[in-house]
A and B are shown apart, each in its own frame.
Chain A
Amino acid sequence: MLHDFAYAAPTAKDEVFSLLAEHGTAAAVLSGGTDLLVNIRSGIARPDYVINLKGVSELAELSFDAGQGLSIGACVTVTKLLADATVRQKYPLLVSAASQLATHQLRNRATIVGNIVTASPCGDMSSPLLCYGAEVELASASGTRTVALQEFITGVKKTVIRPEEIVQRIIVPTTYVGGSGNYLKLKRIKGHDLGVVSVAMLTYATKIRVAIGSAAPTPLLLSEFPIDASAKTIKQAARAAISPIDDVRCTKEYRAFMVEEFIERLLAEVHA
């Protein structure tokens, strides 16, 4: 049972902004709802006002142009991303991670932007988007601003979003289009599970980009490696960057071990 809250389903961004301005931190933004409703049910979130973005048609846009790259609107679901031929062709690492995100039903509702905004260390989309150098576009009544994804997530469930802002889209530049990549995550069962620890690797021309989830308060992007970097080099960099914890899901020891194991496996795929 969810506590009572007021609800609005505006059809224009301006309405969203004025509602946010009015209700401030008492308002919560709903796009997919797969995190928000879980948090409301468990009492973690207690908004007085829920603003559904799905009525704003431009936020549901998923588009690509050769100059800017891929634009993923706030309401683009994981399923929509997975079904997109351009994404499948140009951003295979996004597809790899998105297809491992939760279940089919969840993917039909959950949004890519929501996965980032939740800012969980185990969010499946953060690492691949970091590899692609994604940027987050925030919007409010006073205009838009763009923040690199690394700077967007500042801590466990913390971002730079201001109360009057929404994330209106993620922009994935074309820099690494043509690259290939894969995403590996450790789960406790073979079925759907969050990533106990995860690694995304993207190789493009002369570079290898690696990002790691669930091994630090935020998803981590390692500094770029040359294409002929050895596993040892990458593992060393990873070891220096991560700060995993012990929790009910895993020990820090095994998390650290599996990060290196995944790096080896992903690198072996690159060389294969």
Chain B
Amino acid sequence: MRKIRLRINGDLYERDVRESKTLLHFLREDVGLTGTKEGCGAGECGACTVFMNGETVNSCLVLAVEADGADLQTIEGETAEDGSLSAVQQAFARHHAVQCGFCTPGMIMTVKDLLQRKPKPTREEVIHGIESNFCRCTGYQQIVEAVLDVTGQLPDSEKEGLKYV
């Protein structure tokens, strides 16, 4: 066991943690922040994406002890203090960019990171920006539309979506 001190969503935590515990399991089991999900445990699916010192990481491939002294942000830190949704979350809601919801927390983290790096991404950049995160339900289209809408880039012609024939 080893003592670590870190900041998660602005709050300070100090915990004794097993050296072999991943950051993902630390967040979910030791801290109780279960919004971050495990989809594969092998860095392939992106469901466990969190911010660590301003960069996104797959928390399944980081040891908790490596996060000693780090500043983390998880999905639980995405909403405002009053519980209201962030602009990205609101756009996801508006566009039905959520189905089963299991990839959603990781996806939101990835999108947030993308928008920090590229405040006005093109469609192409959005598609490449979320490549790291598997979503088995939506087929990604409504997620892409949500991201474009957040930044006011969604063409009017695409806002209706379903076509009646």
Direct contact of A and B (CB under 8 A): yes
Interface residues of A (CB under 8 A from B): 1-7, 9, 30, 33-34, 37-38, 40-42, 50, 52, 54, 79, 102-106, 108-109, 191-192
Assembled-state Cα–Cα distance A9/B132 (Å): 29
Assembled-state Cα–Cα distance A3/B20 (Å): 7
Min CB distance, B89 to chain A, in Å? 20
**Is A191 in contact with B131, judged by CB distance below 8 angstroms?**
yes
What count of chain B residues pass the 8 Å CB interface test?
28
Contacts of A33 in B (CB 8 A): 61-63, 66
Tell me if B73 counts as interface (CB < 8 A to partner A): no
Assembled-state Cα–Cα distance A37/B46 (Å): 15
Contacts of A5 in B (CB 8 A): 19-20
- Segment from B51-59, B92-100, B155-163 that makes contact with A: B51-59
Give a binary string over B78-99; 1 marks a CB under 8 Å from any A CB, 0 the rest: 0000000000000000000000
**Is A105 in contact with B62, judged by CB distance below 8 angstroms?**
no
Tell me if B43 counts as interface (CB < 8 A to partner A): yes
Tell me if B31 counts as interface (CB < 8 A to partner A): no
The 10 A-B pairs at the shortest CB distance, nearest first, are namely A103-B132, A7-B19, A2-B20, A108-B55, A105-B58, A37-B61, A105-B56, A191-B131, A38-B42, A4-B20
| Contact status of A109 and B20, CB under 8 A, knowing A37-B63, A54-B66 | no
Assembled-state Cα–Cα distance A130/B22 (Å): 34
Contacts of A2 in B (CB 8 A): 20-22
Q: For A36, give the chain B residue with the smallest CB separation.
A: B61
Give a binary string over B14-27; 1 marks a CB under 8 Å from any A CB, 0 the rest: 00001111100100
Min CB distance, B98 to chain A, in Å? 20
Tell me if B148 counts as interface (CB < 8 A to partner A): no
Contacts of B22 in A (CB 8 A): 2, 37
DSSP majority for the B interface?
mixed
| Contact status of A192 and B18, CB under 8 A, knowing A105-B46, A109-B58, A109-B62 | no
Assembled-state Cα–Cα distance A103/B65 (Å): 23
Contacts of B20 in A (CB 8 A): 2-5, 7, 40
Tell me if B113 counts as interface (CB < 8 A to partner A): yes
Contacts of A41 in B (CB 8 A): 41-42
| 6 pairs from A and B in contact (CB 8 Å cutoff) | A2-B20, A2-B22, A7-B65, A103-B132, A108-B56, A192-B132
Q: For A190, give the chain B residue with the smallest CB separation.
A: B131
Contacts of B61 in A (CB 8 A): 33-34, 37-38, 106, 109
Contacts of B49 in A (CB 8 A): 105
**Is A4 in contact with B43, judged by CB distance below 8 angstroms?**
no
Add 13 more A-B contacts to A104-B132, A108-B55 (CB < 8 A): A6-B19, A34-B61, A37-B61, A37-B62, A50-B63, A103-B132, A105-B43, A105-B56, A105-B110, A108-B56, A109-B57, A191-B131, A192-B131
**Is A4 in contact with B66, judged by CB distance below 8 angstroms?**
no
Contacts of A7 in B (CB 8 A): 2, 19-20, 63, 65
Q: For A104, give the chain B residue with the smallest CB separation.
A: B132
Among A3, A5, A9, A103, the most chain B Cβ lie within 10 Å of the Cβ of: A103
Min CB distance, B152 to chain A, in Å? 24
Among A2, A104, A108, the most chain B Cβ lie within 10 Å of the Cβ of: A104
Assembled-state Cα–Cα distance A33/B55 (Å): 16
Contacts of A40 in B (CB 8 A): 20
**Is B63 in contact with A4, judged by CB distance below 8 angstroms?**
no
Min CB distance, B131 to chain A, in Å? 5
Q: For B109, give the chain A residue with the smallest CB separation.
A: A105
Q: For B20, give the chain A residue with the smallest CB separation.
A: A2
Assembled-state Cα–Cα distance A109/B57 (Å): 7
Query: Which residues in chain B, 1-37, are within 8 Å of chain A measured between CB atoms?
Result: 2, 18-22, 25
